[in-house]
Amino acid sequence: MGVFHKRWSIKKLETIGVNMPERIDLTVFWTPECDSMSYISFYYADIEDMLYEYWQDKQFLLFTFIPLELIREWVWDQYCREPEEIVIDSIKY
């Protein structure tokens, strides 16, 4: 298990005092053809999955943030629609 265990990196972050967010709230504005918006909240498990699935080639132990482009890609893949704009409303630790 050790280094190759899926949860190892997140647990390592927590042991050195870096807190992962419990919830991130977003407002997503969809493409002009849809002319709509959505409020999306994703939680700790979603954040972990996002880091593992979309940031595999990076060593995210060195970072304490999630790039907005990564959030955009995650929203696009989850909802099968292209977001025009994403606004981060709140981050709860």
Which helix (DSSP H) or strand (DSSP E) does residue 91 occupy?
strand 83-92
**Mean pLDDT score, 45-65:** 68
Counts of helices then strands in the chain (DSSP H, E): 3, 3
Distance CA 35, CA 28 (A): 11
Ramachandran bin of 87, using left for φ above 0, alpha for ψ from -120 to 50, beta for the remaining angles: beta
- pLDDT at residue 12 above 50? yes
Whether pLDDT at 71 is above 80: yes
